[in-house]
Chain A
Amino acid sequence: MNSVLLLVPVLLAIVGGLASYFLPLDNRGRRIFIMSVVCVTSVFTALLLFFCKDDTAVLMHFTDTLTFSLRLDGAGRIFAGLVAFLWPLTTLYAFSYMEHEKSPAMFYAFFTTTYGVTLGIAFASNMLTMYLFYELLTLCTIPLILQPGTGEARRAARMYMVFSFGGAAFAFIGFAFLASLGSTEFVLGGVLGAYDRAGLARLIWCFAFVGFGVKAAIFPLHGWLPVASVAPTPVTALLHAVAVVKAGAFAVIRLTYYAYGTDLLYHSWAQGFAMTLTIVTIIFGSAMALKQYHFKRRLAYSTVANLSYILFAATLMTPAGMLEAFLHLVFHSLIKIVVFFAAGAVLHRTGRAYIDQLGGLGARMPVTFTCFTVASLSLIGIPPFNGFFSKWAIAEAAVETGLIPALVGVGALLISAFLTAIYTMRICLPAWLPASVTPLSAHDAGTLAPLEKVREADWRMCVPMVLLAVLCIFTGFFSHEINQLFARLLF
């Protein structure tokens, strides 16, 4: 298959999404149309993953060095595969969730458009293309955050916009520097090679790291992520746990390993700077999650911490580091999506958004909470779930480098695991105990629906949750095979 065909799923999703807004469809018709577009795009992407040749398709020349081109290499395959697998499931979930929301048309349109743009990021073969799709991603996701229409949503969208465009500005510095040196193509090992002004290159890399890191929610630029939990749960689940934030992490990995190259950065002050930032974020995210009483905000801070696991592995600047970064990228996406789906199911069915309102729900919504418990155990890092294996792999890769900050990072990982246990079990335990052990406050008892009226989430929410929770266990058992597969794809 020719690489030019890479454009097809990207355009299909973007055009299909936008078209769905303008077509005269009723609700049911719109849902069928969107699901068809998403499924066809996923199937086509799957075909491309298996059969596409690994060469560059140049689609447009801006100048003789700056081109708009697509290519499917190993890293792109992993990211695109992940996104293509998760999007149809989330669309199914969104159908159930958005039943009672207003303006679903705009929501579905931009939801599908984001799919195409994320695929574009995965397929980008040089920095310019990736930067283009990166900015488009911000633009496409802003309407999704605005969907609730409340003042809080507007503020969240504004904050997201300011942070993202600010970050993109910093990333642009990195891109411009690369462009000035000739080539912006992604080549494993980087294009800089033996560049004589190494100090300047490292400084620019730091700028670009911080810039792309905004989307990957590193401290101190994480602020937009918890605030964006005001968006509907399919958005927080897919975008802010999988697509947007993982696109940020993916961009950082592309920047470090494929554009600048690790030879320049290994054992330098830039690596120390980036590693320190990720370690601080790990502890920061886990600590802030401890005191959040809003369910989704707690999970958002948990995402902040886990993203920095990925970035920490990426800043190790070794092939093992990159491999384990991708492993955790994939595993964490599965875990976080289950966790957010469960939170959304609870919110949708019971209207309970705070964790001290969850007493006794486990008996009424057993499927939801079993999936949540499985994903939480995986998040903490209990074997045999997949979280244990990816964390162990990152820790091993870090200890192998022998750097002192890396050892500190391993300690931070373990402390964060302990804190994760505290903040997830704080949700699980009261849910599984009888409601009398953690009774509702008088105010809540008056406003919320009583426990007897609570029903389990419907099949459109349960099926994706259960499927992905089972995958959490399954990928744990086969984590070594998956690791080998990724190594073969990447190197």
Chain B
Amino acid sequence: MNEIIWLPVLLPFLAAAVAPLAVHTRRMRAPFLIGVTGLELICAAYLLLAGQDASAQLPHYRIALTAQDFHGLYLTVTAALWLCAALMAIPYFKEHTQDLGSFDAFFFLTLGATAGVFLSADLITLLIFFEIMSVASFVWVIHDRTRRAAHAAGVYLGIAIFGGMAALMGILLVDHAAGTTVISEIAASGALADHRTELIVAGFLLLIGFGAKAGLFPLHVWLPLAHPVAPAPASALLSGILTKTGVWGVLIIVAQILPGVSLFFGVLLAAALITMVLGAVLALLSSDLKYTLACSSLSQIGFILTGVAMLGFLGAENSSAAYGVIAYMLNHSVVKIVLFLAAGAFFCARHTLSLTELRGAGKGHPVLHVVFLLGAASLCGIPGTLGYVGKTLIHESIVEYSAQGGAIFSVVEWVFLLSGGLTVAYMTKLYICLFWQKPLGTVDADSPLSAAAGISVVVPALLLLSGVLPALAIEPLCRIGLPFLSGREFAEPVSYFSLRNLSGFLISAAAGAVVYLLVVRRVLIHDGSYRDADSSLPSLTDRVYLPLCRNSVTALTVLCRVPDQAVDLCAYLLRRYVLYGTAPRRYHPHKLLVRIGEMIDRRRKPAEGEPAASAVLIQWWEAAADTTRRVLGNFSFALLMTCLGISVLLIYLFIIA
């Protein structure tokens, strides 16, 4: 049944229209949220399991949807995590109920658009849903209506639209070069051989567009601003799913548009490594819970995109990179849901996000403790979790390519491991702060987590334990997604818990422990309160982007004002001197005449009673001007000129011509 593929996209759009009504009737809100997201999940699961051949097309609008391989898988993940966020959204807003209607409406709008992104089989469909998703999620960021939220939302929207326009240009070029925008057909069209430069330019433009959404350096600046400022369920989805749409686009570039172009992979790898380290450092130095998690997302996206770059480099033997990227994407989505929703639970209870005030906030909440520990463990890549599988496979892919790539890839490997260490450090910092430190003052007993919130975090957390049996649990899942990435199957089974792989983890863990003990405990914790070192770092947004925008806007407008005024000036000059629009100003050289008169008087030395030379000169001038005016303004003078003109014309016509 092909039409069912429209359901994941259209159902949330319809729900968005109805949502404000459901909010009005308070008791209907929870069932409505859970009902719609639950239905979405059932639909997605059906498409994944039984409806792999479903597709839909609107050929004239270039809209094409498909549920094959990775599309169906990630749609299911999206729907599942949206359900978790919906479960959290019920208790989260118990106290702040303003703008709930718009939150719910845009919650569903974003769901529909994101489903559309993952189901797209055509680049133009992808762009359409991508833009709708960007604009719809903007409302999440501005939800609080504070100045900080407005600033974050402005940066978010600016970069989203800038990226969207770059992506549009890229898609136009791809269309022109390959003749098609259907994703699965671009590589097969052979365009890379004929229009290589055009496709490379298109690839970089698309990287700007999709990389901006993923949070790739240097367009990452919106992420640490926007994710903390949105409500916790929304932050969870922003970090967990929406950044993956950016990664999705980059995967398309690597697998379909520019396969084998090392230049692109090199640039991607460099940017990804910078993002990885930058995010980890920012997370380490922060003292705000959500800000740390947001920068952690930045860093994890760096990890994923490193894997994507290796996917490209390895070409035909990219099995470890392919499996690794998919596993890591799944892991990061689930982990971020768990951690952000846990952060949301803390915010509900304590109304603060500062680490200093949240010390020991998790004590006495065993469920939250276990859940957070699982999430943190998976993020750090502790063996037995899903995160370990992803990290190990990507590490493996780097090692595999070092043979061909040269010495620089061992540097890449060390950066990878050390960033893993930084991850361990800041997650340890969060864990110990929240669950082991002594609370600040006396604390009233917090209400335990509500059932809905509990389910929303426990179930995903348990999924993270699938890393215990990777070959059984994770590999089949990843295998579904392989065709999308042009990934190959493993030639031989991978031993996940071999010494070499475990040693990678141990190096990271050791580095992390060292950083934690030396940097965090000594430098960052001051009398028990966490110092925020982030504000001392120069902000890329404030130092570079905003001045760049302001100055280029000013420069552009000045540049344009000049011709604008020039045109006005031309019109004015024409009017004055050619058309005599205003009365011709009489030329009064009085000052000049006075000067000349004085000079003459100095030579002449006039006697008493004689008029000054300047006065005489002025008199002569006035007389002359008066006479000239009379003559020129006279009709007979005009007649005389006319006759003269006619005579000249006649002479020319009869004698010369």
Interface residues of A (CB under 8 A from B): 162, 219-221, 223, 283-284, 287-288, 290-291, 377, 380, 382-384, 388, 392, 395-396, 399-400, 410-411, 414-415, 417-418, 421-422, 425, 429, 432-434, 437, 479-480
**Interface-facing stretch out of B167-175, B224-232, B404-412, B514-522:** B167-175
Q: Are B145 and A383 in contact (CB under 8 A)?
A: no
Tell me if B147 counts as interface (CB < 8 A to partner A): yes
**Interface-facing stretch out of B84-92, B558-566, B594-602:** B558-566
Q: How far is the CA of A245 from the CA of B605 in the complex (A)?
A: 71
Which chain B residues (540-563) contact chain A, with CB distance < 8 Å?
553-554, 556-557, 559-561, 563
Q: What does the 1/0 interface line of B168-188 toward A look like (CB < 8 Å)?
A: 110011011000000000000
Which chain B residues (486-529) contact chain A, with CB distance < 8 Å?
none
Chain A residues, CB < 8 A from B161: 380, 417-418, 421
Given contacts A382-B135, A437-B145, contact A429 B150 (CB under 8 A): yes
Chain B residues, CB < 8 A from A479: 61
Q: Are B145 and A223 in contact (CB under 8 A)?
A: no
User: Chain B's nearest CB lies how many Å from the CB of A479?
Assistant: 8
Q: Are A383 and B154 in contact (CB under 8 A)?
A: no
Q: Which of A162, A219, A392 is in CB contact (< 8 Å) with B571?
A: A162
Q: Are B153 and A414 in contact (CB under 8 A)?
A: no
Q: Are B153 and A429 in contact (CB under 8 A)?
A: yes
User: Chain B's nearest CB lies how many Å from the CB of A248?
Assistant: 17
Q: How far is the CA of A395 from the CA of B168 in the complex (A)?
A: 10
Q: Are A433 and B162 in contact (CB under 8 A)?
A: no
Chain B residues, CB < 8 A from A383: 127-128, 131-132
Q: Which of B147, B169, B554, B561 is in CB contact (< 8 Å) with A288?
A: B561
Those 9 A-B pairs whose CB atoms lie nearest each other, nearest first: A480-B60, A383-B128, A414-B165, A291-B557, A220-B567, A287-B556, A421-B161, A287-B560, A284-B560
Q: Are B165 and A223 in contact (CB under 8 A)?
A: no
Q: A220-B563, A410-B169, A433-B150 are in contact. List 12 more A-B contacts (CB 8 A).
A: A220-B567, A221-B567, A283-B556, A287-B560, A380-B161, A383-B127, A383-B131, A396-B175, A399-B173, A411-B169, A422-B553, A437-B147
7 contacts between A and B (CB under 8 A): A287-B560, A290-B557, A377-B135, A382-B135, A388-B131, A396-B175, A400-B176
Chain B residues, CB < 8 A from A480: 60-61
Q: Are B150 and A437 in contact (CB under 8 A)?
A: yes
User: Chain A's nearest CB lies how many Å from the CB of B587?
Assistant: 27
Q: Are B564 and A223 in contact (CB under 8 A)?
A: yes
Chain B's interface: helix, strand, loop or mixed, by majority? helix
Q: How far is the CA of A357 from the CA of B197 in the complex (A)?
A: 49
Q: How far is the CA of A429 from the CA of B61 in the complex (A)?
A: 31
Q: How far is the CA of A437 from the CA of B563 in the complex (A)?
A: 36
Q: Please, which residue of chain A has its CB at the minimum distance from the CB of B153?
A: A429
User: Chain A's nearest CB lies how many Å from the CB of B541?
Assistant: 16
Q: Are B563 and A422 in contact (CB under 8 A)?
A: no
User: Chain A's nearest CB lies how many Å from the CB of B230?
Assistant: 15
User: Chain B's nearest CB lies how many Å from the CB of A162?
Assistant: 7
Which chain B residues (567-594) contact chain A, with CB distance < 8 Å?
567-568, 571
Tell me if B142 counts as interface (CB < 8 A to partner A): yes
User: Chain A's nearest CB lies how many Å from the CB of B182?
Assistant: 16
Q: Are A395 and B172 in contact (CB under 8 A)?
A: yes
Q: Which of A284, A290, A291, A388 is in CB contact (< 8 Å) with B563?
A: A284
Chain A residues, CB < 8 A from B142: 429, 432-433
Q: How far is the CA of A434 from the CA of B132 in the complex (A)?
A: 25
Q: Which of B158, B168, B176, B567 is in CB contact (< 8 Å) with A414?
A: B168
User: Chain A's nearest CB lies how many Å from the CB of B485?
Assistant: 27
Tell me if B157 counts as interface (CB < 8 A to partner A): yes
Tell me if B146 counts as interface (CB < 8 A to partner A): yes
Q: How far is the CA of A437 from the CA of B152 in the complex (A)?
A: 14
Chain A residues, CB < 8 A from B166: 414
Q: Please, which residue of chain B has its CB at the minimum distance from the CB of A159?
A: B571
Q: Are A291 and B553 in contact (CB under 8 A)?
A: yes
Chain B residues, CB < 8 A from A384: 128, 132
User: Chain B's nearest CB lies how many Å from the CB of A415?
Assistant: 8
Given contacts A418-B161, A437-B147, contact A219 B563 (CB under 8 A): yes
Chain A residues, CB < 8 A from B147: 437
Q: Are B172 and A399 in contact (CB under 8 A)?
A: yes
User: Chain B's nearest CB lies how many Å from the CB of A393?
Assistant: 11
Q: Are A288 and B560 in contact (CB under 8 A)?
A: yes
Q: What does the 1/0 interface line of B136-167 toward A look like (CB < 8 Å)?
A: 00000010011100100110011001100110
Q: How far is the CA of A291 from the CA of B153 in the complex (A)?
A: 21
Q: How far is the CA of A377 from the CA of B568 in the complex (A)?
A: 33
